[in-house]
Amino acid sequence: MSHDHDHDHDSTSRWRNVACHDSPADAEITRIDAMEEELGPLPDEVEHVRALVSRFDSLSHYRAVDNLTFIMRAIGSSSYPGMPAVDVLWRHEHIDDERRATFRRYYRALQSWLAGESLEQAKQDHPDGCEEPDEVYAALGDMDDAKQWLAASLAKALAEYVLRPEDIIAEHEDEAYVRALYEAVLHRQPSPDDLGFRVAELRNGMTRDDMFGGVLNAVEHTDHVRAHIAEVLKRSGA
């Protein structure tokens, strides 16, 4: 694919399987795109495998696990199998918790492989008896730059479907959570004193849910919401 056209358009076409793909590229997509730039010209087979990743667009497909395995094996062999990974047959009406949990384990195993962990290390983060780490490591084999880019792309696509907000929150440290909470609710970053105080609260046993409720009900936030409501009413002429 060409590297000299507009970045936003490039990201949109490259990431069309990711939910809300018309939005600006987030930090992870930008990082993965930078990996591709460093790789330089890619063999057609690698480009075709990335196209397979972009076609993985639903966990609800009745053969979604087969499709994921198919793509991982294509990454591992760095070759395009010459047949479609995804068909257009019947899909489940919804993604139940069990199905989501299965694909979350594949995502975690992909993340472990990308981090350079051994298979034994990867298994420590999974329930006893689960087979996903074995499948991922067997399919991908030894890491090289092209495989790393393709596997990171697949992990990002999976993350958009399997990670709920609480999963993403749990992955981040207390300081990052406090900064994100203030930005999302109060539309500003915490002062150094606020940050230190809030982090200390979490380390002393306050739950993130309790802190969320406290910040959400803070006078600063409720005043901001009331002011916004008043502005909307003025614009509407009510």
What's the pLDDT at 141? 95
Burial 24-61 (b: 16+ CB within 10 A, else e): ebeeebeebbeebeeeeebeeebeebbebbbebbebeb
pLDDT above 70 covers what percent of the chain? 82
In the predicted structure, residue 147 carries a pLDDT above the cut 90: yes
- The stretch 219-233 carries a mean pLDDT of 90
Q: Pick the closest to residue 144 from 69, 39, 54 (CA basis).
A: 39
Identify which of 77-81, 90-94, 137-141 has the greatest average pLDDT.
137-141
Return mean pLDDT, the chain: 82
Q: Which residue has the tokens 């495989």?
A: 147
Mean pLDDT of 209-214: 94
Residues in contact with 213: Cβ distance below 8 Å, sequence separation at least 6, in sequence order: none
Find, among 102, 163, 98, 108, the residue nearest to 133 by Cα: 108
pLDDT for residue 9:
37
Is residue 18 pLDDT above 60, yes or no?
no
The tens digit of pLDDT for each residue in 168-195 reads: 888 889 999 999 999 999 999 999 999 9
Please state which of the ranges 3-7, 115-119, 162-166, 209-213 shows the lowest mean pLDDT.
Answer: 3-7
Is the pLDDT assigned to residue 5 strictly greater than 80?
no
